[in-house]
Amino acid sequence: MDQRDPRRRIPRTDELLALDELRSALDELGEAAVSALVRRTQQRARDGEITPEQVRQELLTELESLRVCSLRPVLNATGVIIHTNLGRAPLSPAAARAVAEASGYVDVELDLVSGARAQRGAGARRALLEACPVAEDALIVNNGAAALVLATTALASGAEVIISRGELIEIGAGFRLPDLIASTGARLHEVGTTNRTHPADYAEAIGPQTGCLLKVHPSNFRVQGFTSSVDLAELAPLTRQAGVPLIADLGSGLLTADPLLPEEPDATTALSAGAELVIASGDKLLGGPQAGILLGCKELIAQLARHPLARAVRADKLALAALEATLRGPQPPVRRALHADPARLRDRTAALAAQLEVPVLTHDGRVGGGGAPGHPLAGWALKLPVAAAPLLRTGEPAVLPRVHDDACLVDLRCVPEEDDQRLLLAVQTAIGNLPRN
């Protein structure tokens, strides 16, 4: 190579890796990731994109954005508490600590006193039964869909699942309940119509081929007008007489009734009404990690736990730790956002609006995640130009606002109060970068 070739001035790999500024990056990201970034930066200099003298600074700049995990923390300013695109329920500090502690070796299936194998996730199971005493037993799997698959496979594979036509729902991402049930080898026996189902419809359907009767709480929609449905208390005598399991898929994850959401079903009420098995999600209104929760009759839970599929859908140690800490620890973020003090929300929003010199609008929040569809949560939002939305989403910290009626709305319901200053700076930066007319 010609001695005058500027590429000869490109710093060597060993020189760059020896930089003091790279030591913490090597510890956090690993040598392979940092070395790959060094080579890419050197190649940019060889290609003439940057000068050899810029290699060091460009490398350090790139390192600031390099992460072991590509997932970015986001401030949820949409007003939607259980936001599926943002990972549903944020974990409480107690649950996050439990996950960190469980990331190493833990006694997830071991009795330390005897040294013998023990029941997996016994602590999380006990916490569930303490939170829902009417349940005889509990089983935890990796998500709500897995819980339903396990239940219908173990109880109705090769048999019929009786369900109202008005409960054959589709939720996000094209997930359809009928397809899920059919995949287990069970046959759907639809009763009633979309808007009206009566006790006689169920009674006439129950027969020798019935594996179970399934009640599903509709998610993300309401059927209003000329309607009728059959509640669990009416169905329980029918299923008990026929010896058919009655399953209630609640979805939302409430273990006990919440006065703020009077139409949202909960596990305690469902079991008390006669359901023998209740299915709920851990990462919705319960406010914990992704998990499928099965509560109910001891014999049915044992039957499900013995099924080979139970091993394939079992919850991992991190989910078990987070779930137990959510149940035993302080109120999780989802519950705090749901029951946020309206006066305090208004004051926080007004304080930020005054500093930003932007208007405040009344803005209804939502439960989200299929919970309490159509139920408004009174609140307020900052009104910004719609062009601020992409700047907020790609800023630092990333902020997800709601875009509505050609405006960018920033709702503080799901933003922890300790993050108000970070949110303020993010909005100031976004407004400052808006294109000038």
Model pLDDT, residue 172: 66
Average pLDDT over residues 308-316: 96
Q: Is the pLDDT of residue 221 over 80?
A: no
Model pLDDT, residue 4: 66
What residue type is 413 in one-letter code?
A: R
Q: Is the pLDDT of residue 232 over 70?
A: yes
Q: Is the pTM of this model over 0.75?
A: yes
Structure tokens at 60: 């350090």
- Assign 224 a pLDDT band (cuts: 50, 70, 90): confident
Q: Is the pLDDT of residue 207 over 90?
A: yes
- pLDDT tens, residue by residue, 265-277: 999 999 999 999 9
Higher model confidence: residue 67 or residue 432?
Answer: 432
**H or E element, residue 129:** helix 122-131
Contact (CB, 8 A) for 304 and 386: no
Higher model confidence: residue 260 or residue 33?
Answer: 260
Considering the chain, what is the average pLDDT of its residues?
92
What is the sign of the dihedral through the CA atoms of 159, 165, 167 and 171? positive
Average pLDDT over residues 407-411: 98
- pLDDT tens, residue by residue, 58-117: 888 888 777 777 889 999 999 999 999 999 999 999 999 999 999 999 999 999 999 999
- pLDDT tens, residue by residue, 177-203: 888 898 999 999 999 998 899 999 999
What crossing angle do the helices spanning 342-356 and 420-432 adopt, rounded to 10°? Answer: 40
Structure tokens at 106: 């833990």
Model pLDDT, residue 244: 96
- Assign 257 a pLDDT band (cuts: 50, 70, 90): very high
The structural domains of the chain, with segments of one domain joined by +, span 6-65, 74-83+336-432, 92-330
What crossing angle do the helices spanning 122-131 and 317-328 adopt, rounded to 10°? Answer: 30
Closest CA to 196 of 235, 231, 169, 166: 166
Pairing of β 175-176 and β 170-171? antiparallel
Give me the long-range contacts of 400-406 (CB less than 8 A, separation at least 24): 400/74, 400/75, 400/76, 400/77, 400/78, 400/83, 400/86, 401/77, 401/78, 402/77, 402/78, 402/79, 402/80, 402/363
Residue-wise burial string across 304-332, b where 16 or more C-beta atoms lie within 10 A, e elsewhere: bbebebbeebbbebbbbbbbbbbbbbeeb
- Assign 168 a pLDDT band (cuts: 50, 70, 90): confident
User: How many angstroms separate the CA atoms of 95 and 328, rounded?
Assistant: 9
- pLDDT tens, residue by residue, 23-65: 878 888 888 888 888 899 889 889 888 888 888 898 888 887 7
- Assign 173 a pLDDT band (cuts: 50, 70, 90): low
- Cα–Cα distance list, 305 to 119, 182, 246, 435 (Å): 11, 21, 18, 59
Model pLDDT, residue 26: 81
Fold classification of 74-83+336-432 is Aspartate Aminotransferase, domain 1 (3.90.1150)
> Domain 92-330 is of which CATH architecture?
3-Layer(aba) Sandwich (3.40)
Closest CA to 36 of 3, 74, 63: 63
Residues belonging to the chain: 437
- Assign 1 a pLDDT band (cuts: 50, 70, 90): low
Model pLDDT, residue 63: 82
Model pLDDT, residue 65: 76
What's phi and psi for 246, nearest 5 deg? Answer: -105, 115
